[in-house]
Amino acid sequence: MKLATRLQALAHAATRGRSAVIGAPYLWLLTFFLLPFLVVMKISVSEMEAVHFKDLITFKDGSLQFAIQLRNYLFIAEDDLYFKTYLASLKYAGVATLLCLVIGYPFAYFMARARATLQPALLMLVMLPFWTSLLLRVYAWKGLLSEHGWAHQLITGLGLDHLLAALGIIQTPGLLLHTPFSLVLGMVYTYLPFMVLPLYANLAKMDLRLLEAAADLGATAWVAFWKVTVPLSKAGIIAGSMLVFIPCVGELVVPELLGGPQTLMIGRVMWDEMFSNNDWPMASAVAVVMVLLIIVPLALFSKYQAEAQEARR
Amino acid sequence: MNGMQKWFGRGWLSAGYLFLYLPIAALVIYSFNDSPVPNIWRGFTLHWYAQLADDHELLAGFWLSLKIAFFTACGSVVLGTLAAFALVKYKRFFGRTLFTGMVSAPLVMPEVIIGLSLLLTLVSVQRLIGVPERGMLTIWLGHMLLGMAYATVVIQARLQDLNPQLEEAAMDLGARPAQVFMLVTLPMIAQSLLSAWLLTFTLSLDDVVVSAFLSGPGATTMPQVIFSRARLGLSPSINAVATLIVLFVAVGVAFASLLIARRERQRQREMAEAYRS
C-alpha cells in the first residue's frame, strides 16, 4: 500500500516534470546516438593492438603522451580503391535520386491534383509497400530481372537491353541482373515513396489561387508550372532528395542483392573492414569519411525540416 | 485540368503504382509455383508453405523478430511521445537544436553507420564492465533508435494539429497536468500512437542491416535468415514467407484503418453534439 502510493507520487512527479519529459528522450539519444559517434571517431584514430586498443592518452615518464593515428585516413586518401568506391557510391546515389525526382514529381503532382475524395486512398497505396517488407521487395526484383523473370522478358522483348548496353549501363545485352542498371533500379524502387511523400505533402497544401493569378496575368500552363509550382515546392524537392540520397550512399541491402562485381559501394567496404579484416579502426575511419560526405546534405535536410515545421504553425 | 493533362496524369499514376506493386504480385504468384526453379511456372502447389512449418532456422528467427519488434514498438512509442511532447510543447530548452537534430537524423542516416557506431560502443562497454552480451537486447537498442525517430515524426505531426484550447480548458477546470494528459491529450493522440506502434513494429520486423551488426551468435532474426538465403539465389520458400507477410500486413492495415475511421467518425459526432448543447 505504502509502496503503491509512493509509486503513484513518483509517476505524478514524472508526468508533471517538464525536465523528465525532455530529459528521458534526450538522455537516451545522447547515450545511444551521439556517444557512439564519438566512440567511432576515437577508434578511427586508434591503433589496433591485437584485439585491444591502445589508449589515446597515456601518462608515461611524467608526461602526457598522445597517440593519435592518422594512418587510416592517410590510407583512405592514398588508396585508389577507397576513392573509387566513395565516388561510385555518390554517383549511384545521385543517379537514383535524380530518377526518383523525375518519376516522383509528376506522381506527387497528379496525386495532389486528384479528386479530394480519392486522395486518401492514393496516399495509402503509396504507403502500403512501405509497410510490407523492403528486403523482400528488393529480393522480388532479383526474380523479376533474372533470365525468366517478367521484367527481363519485357525489357529484352522490347530490345531495350541493346539500348542499355549501347549506353554502357549494362555490359552484355540480355544480362540485366548484377549490373549498374539493376542496382539503380532497385534503389529507385526502394526509395521512391520517400520522394513522393514529402513532395505530395508540399504540393497538396499549395494555394491554387496563385496559379489562377498566373493564368490571369497571361502565363500558359507550362510557364505557370515552371515559375510558380516548382519554386513553391522547393522545400519538398530538397527534403525528398535528401531522404533518398543520404541513405542510398551507405546502402547495403540493394547492392548485395542486385549489384554486381562492377558496383562496389562503400557500405560493403566498411562491412568487410569490420567483419572480414577485423580492422575496426579502418572501418571507423571509412564511416567517419562517409559521414563527412553526407554532412552537408544532412544539414540541408535538417534546415528544411525545421522550416517545414515552422510553416505548419 | 484539361483533358489531355488528365489522361497523362492518370497514365503516370497507373504506371507508378504498377511499378510499386508488380514485385509484390510476382512474389505472391510464384509462391504457389510447383517448380524448384523459382521463375518458370509449372503449376499450382502449397508445397512451399508446408515446408515452412519444418524450417526451424526461419521459425526461430521469426519468434526472435516478433519479440524484438514488440518491445521496439512499445519503447519507441513511449520515447517518441516524450520527444514529440518536448518538441511541440516546450519551445525553449537547453540544446533544443541538438535534440531536434538527433531525433530526426536516424531517419536518413545510412543504417550501416548506425549499426557500426552502436556496435563499437557496446563492445567497448562490454570490455569495461562485461555486459551486455550481443543478442536480443543489443538488437533492440539499435531498432529503438530507428523506431523512436519514426514514432516522433508521426506523433509530433498529430500533436501540432491539436487545439491547445481543449487542454487549457481542462486546466481551467482544475485538472492537474497528469490528468490533462491522461484524460484529454492521450485520447486525442491515441490514433497516432497506434499508427506509430504499427509502423515501428513493421520497421523492426523488417530491419536487416542494424540487426546484422548487433546480433550475436545465438540470435539471428528472420530478415537475417532471409537475407543470407536471398544472397545465394532465388528460393521458393522466401516467396512463401513474403506472401504471408503481405497478407498479414494487408489485414493489419485494413483493420487499423477501419478502426481509425470509426473512431474518427465517433469523435466528430461527439464534438458536433458537444457544440450543439
A250 and B110 within 8 Å at the Cβ level: the answer is yes
All cell numbers assigned to B245: 507477410
Angle at B168 between CA B162 and CA B170, to 5 degrees: 105
Residue B255 near chain A (CB below 8 Å): no
B20 and A126 within 8 Å at the Cβ level: the answer is yes
Distance CA(B151)–CA(A289), nearest Å, equals 29
* Block mean pLDDT (10 aa), chain B, length 277: 80 94 90 77 82 88 94 96 89 84 88 94 87 88 94 90 83 82 85 90 93 89 92 84 86 80 80 76
The contacts of residue B174 (CB under 8 Å, 6+ apart) are none
Please report whether residue B17 resides in a domain.
no
pLDDT for A50? 43
B10 and A305 within 8 Å at the Cβ level: the answer is no
B residues 210-229 closer than 8 Å to A (CB): 223, 226-227
User: Of A16, A270, A302, which is closest to B116 when you measure between CB atoms?
Assistant: A270
The contacts of residue A67 (CB under 8 Å, 6+ apart) are A46, A47, A54, A55, A56, A57, A58
All cell numbers assigned to B264: 474518427
Number of neighbouring beta carbons within 10 Å of residue B149:
25
Residue B171 near chain A (CB below 8 Å): no
Distance CA(A236)–CA(A305), nearest Å, equals 9
pLDDT for A176? 87
Please report whether residue B10 resides in a domain.
no
Angle at A216 between CA A210 and CA A219, to 5 degrees: 80
pLDDT for A110? 93
The contacts of residue A91 (CB under 8 Å, 6+ apart) are none
Distance CA(A257)–CA(A148), nearest Å, equals 17
Q: Which helix H or strand E contains A48, and what residues bound it?
A: strand A48-49
Cβ(A119)–Cβ(A111) under 8 Å? yes
Give the end-to-end CA distance of chain A in Å, rounded to a whole number. 46
Please report whether residue B167 resides in a domain.
yes
Cβ(B216)–Cβ(B135) under 8 Å? yes
Distance CA(A128)–CA(A110), nearest Å, equals 18
pLDDT tens track of chain A, all 313 residues? 566 676 666 566 555 567 778 888 999 999 999 999 999 998 888 876 544 555 556 656 666 555 677 888 888 888 888 999 999 999 999 999 999 999 999 999 999 988 888 888 899 889 888 888 889 999 999 989 988 888 888 888 888 888 888 887 888 887 888 899 999 999 999 999 999 999 999 998 888 888 888 888 888 888 888 888 889 898 899 989 999 999 999 999 999 999 888 888 999 999 998 998 888 889 999 999 999 999 888 888 877 777 776 666 5
A280 and B160 within 8 Å at the Cβ level: the answer is no
User: Of B79, B118, B231, which is closest to A257 when you measure between CB atoms?
Assistant: B231
User: Of A40, A43, A140, which is closest to B26 when you measure between CB atoms?
Assistant: A140
All cell numbers assigned to A149: 523473370
Q: Under DSSP, is residue B238 helix (H, G, I), strand (E, B) or coil?
A: helix
Residues of B in contact with A291 (CB under 8 A): 113
- Nearest chain A alpha carbon to B6: A110
Chain B nearest-CA distance from A284, in A, is: 8
Q: Dihedral of CA A227/A229/A235/A236: which sign?
A: negative
Q: Closest Cα to residue A25, out of B27, B15, B90, B53?
A: B90
A133 and B178 within 8 Å at the Cβ level: the answer is no
- Upstream peptide bond of B164 is cis (omega within 30 degrees of 0): no
Please report whether residue B74 resides in a domain.
yes
Chain A nearest-CA distance from B205, in A, is: 8
Distance CA(B208)–CA(B227), nearest Å, equals 7
All cell numbers assigned to B212: 546484422
Distance CA(B181)–CA(A17), nearest Å, equals 12
Please report whether residue B121 resides in a domain.
yes
All cell numbers assigned to A8: 503513484
Distance CA(A255)–CA(A245), nearest Å, equals 15
* DSSP H stretches of helix in B162-185: 164-172, 177-180
Distance CA(A66)–CA(A58), nearest Å, equals 7
Residues of A in contact with B127 (CB under 8 A): 52
Angle at B104 between CA B101 and CA B108, to 5 degrees: 115
C-alpha A276 chain-centroid distance? 25
Helices A35-44 and B111-129 sit at what angle, rounded to 10 degrees?
Answer: 80
Q: Which amino acid is at A105?
A: Y
Residue B208 belongs to a domain with what CATH number?
1.10.3720.10
The contacts of residue A20 (CB under 8 Å, 6+ apart) are A13, A14
pTM: 0.87
pLDDT for A283? 92
Domain extent, residue B150, equals 56-276
B237 strand-pairing partners: none
Angle at A312 between CA B194 and CA B259, to 5 degrees: 20
**Residue given cell 492537474 in the structure block:** B176
Chain A nearest-CA distance from B107, in A, is: 8
- Nearest chain B alpha carbon to A294: B109
Residue B148 near chain A (CB below 8 Å): yes
Q: Closest Cα to residue A111, out of A215, A103, A313, A224?
A: A103
Please report whether residue B40 resides in a domain.
no
Chain B nearest-CA distance from A291, in A, is: 8
Tally C-beta pairs within 8 A across A and B: 231
Residues of A in contact with B242 (CB under 8 A): 133, 136, 139-140
B93 and A39 within 8 Å at the Cβ level: the answer is no
Farthest-apart Cα atoms in chain B, separation: 71
User: Of B21, B110, B148, which is closest to A290 when you measure between CB atoms?
Assistant: B110
Chain A nearest-CA distance from B86, in A, is: 5
User: Of B95, B104, B117, which is closest to A305 when you measure between CB atoms?
Assistant: B104
User: Of A40, A150, A271, which is closest to B120 when you measure between CB atoms?
Assistant: A40
Residues of B in contact with A96 (CB under 8 A): none
A25 and B257 within 8 Å at the Cβ level: the answer is no
Q: Closest Cα to residue B6, out of A87, A221, A133?
A: A221
A148 and B39 within 8 Å at the Cβ level: the answer is yes
Q: Under DSSP, is residue A58 helix (H, G, I), strand (E, B) or coil?
A: strand
A22 and B93 within 8 Å at the Cβ level: the answer is yes
Chain B nearest-CA distance from A166, in A, is: 25
**Domain tally for chain B?**
1
Please report whether residue B129 resides in a domain.
yes
C-alpha A291 chain-centroid distance? 12
pLDDT for A313? 55
Please report whether residue B34 resides in a domain.
no
